[in-house]
Amino acid sequence: MSGPLNEYSPLGETLDPGRRRFIYHGFILQLLLAHILPANDTAIRLVELLGGIVVLYTLLTAGLIRLVLARTCPFTHGLALATGLTVAAIGTVASANAARPEVFAGVVVTLACLATLRVGQNSSRIAILFHGVAVGVIGLTSPLSGVMAAFLAVMYQAWANGSIWRTIISSAVVGGIAVATAGALFTFFPFPVPDWVTAVRAHGRIAPYGTISPGGMVYGLVANPILPGFGGFVAVGFAVGCRTVLRWRGAIGSPWLFATAFFGLSVLLLATSLGIGAKHYNFLPVIPPMIAVGFATLADRPRWLLALGGAAGVVSMGLVRSALVCVAFQSDGVSLREARAAFAAIGLSPEVSVGCDGSAFYLIDDYHAARGIRRDWPNYPTNGLNLDYLVIGQQASGWITPPSFEGYDLIANHFVEHPPRVLGIRIGNTMPGYGFAVYKRMSRQ
């Protein structure tokens, strides 16, 4: 049976030996891309589409914040500044995780929020329909994001309904619609559903929760140049959420259910986002509604706005740095088209075995012709595979020059052998883009 395969990550072989089917994660985004992308120049169109999803996510979040603020508070310059910095920070987080399905999940969450605001609180049945469909779609885009979206739906029902029983019944209906939506979407999935469920559960068991070192945690939350100070943004955002619950507790129909869902969502976020190497992408589905509600609550609290805007401003410096790195790339970097042309000129035979890591996978259109190799898996660069050639990408590697690998000769070098600089100031370790090197296995004597 044909369908999406995982040729890049060794995880595909671990969870589905011999077949490497993509059955251990959500699949909605992958199937959409498979139907949209053309047969030629697939990699170039993929980069453009993923970038478009990031822009859409950021613009929809900005629209949601604007709509909520327009209904709840008057305009002030301080509010406008804090909002602008926060939207820039949200765009920074999304762009740093552009290839993740959680960005698309965030788009669906934000669309559901906008639709709910349009129909109003009195149209509870329509809101329930929106939420159920959204949770179903998100659950098959990213299962963890689907659980988070379910918590958000329960929080809304707890706020909108006047009694605990109505909240429970409406939440159950949301769950039923979500299951029905997922069932309908599974008809487009080319592999057996029980295999998908088994692989997703296995993936959850082997995910490296809590294995990050203290130094890695500090880097991910404070010193990551792409998202500087992200931990401060999370801390202030969590405080804003708690302040929102306390301030609006009198307006919440079922405060205990609301608080329970909020607590569950917070624990899930912190456990899965900060315990796996500070994976910022898990925040993406919940950022738009939480930030929008937080702004509506704190619009008349200048100190809170200052704290949120300041924390967002620090994160936004990552976007400024990325823009400066892009300036350096424009003058010295290797573009995707240039890299693909240079790789094609090498003329590797389709009969040889090739291993690609990271950005090097963008150099080919026939992904079945190569196997993925990862630096974070054992026995790099081959990961234990029998490979005739290695194609190593420079992007985010920290390598200024191609490294040496035992048993392989360097036959092509398209690395940019100097760090990115703007006005003579070094702003990164390695030049972004698609620089690469090709290695050939030495002949056995």
What's the chain's average pLDDT? 84
Mean pLDDT by groups of 10 residues along the chain of 445 residues: 68 76 89 81 81 94 88 77 87 86 95 87 79 96 94 90 85 95 94 91 69 62 78 81 77 83 86 63 87 79 82 87 87 89 89 84 77 78 87 88 92 93 86 92 73
User: How much is the pLDDT for 210?
Assistant: 47
* Cβ–Cβ < 8 Å for 174, 138: no
Tokens coding 47? 């980069």
User: How much is the pLDDT for 444?
Assistant: 61
User: How much is the pLDDT for 77?
Assistant: 79
List own/partner pairs for 398-407 with CB under 8 A and 24 or more apart. Answer: 398/429, 398/430, 399/430, 400/429, 400/430, 402/437, 405/381, 405/439, 407/441, 407/442
Looking up tokens 């929102």 gives: 244
Distance in angstroms (rounded) separating the CA atoms of residues 142 and 209:
17
User: How much is the pLDDT for 108?
Assistant: 96
Q: How far apart are the first and last CA of the chain?
A: 42
Enter the pTM of the model: 0.85
Crossing angle between the packed helical segments 42-72 and 336-346, to the nearest 10 degrees: 160
Tokens coding 71? 């209904």
Number of residues written out for the chain: 445
* Helix runs in 219-301, H state only: 230-247, 255-273, 287-298
Contacts of 301 (CB under 8 A, 6+ apart): none
Q: Tens of pLDDT along 57-109?
A: 999 999 998 888 887 777 777 778 888 888 888 888 888 888 899 999 999 99
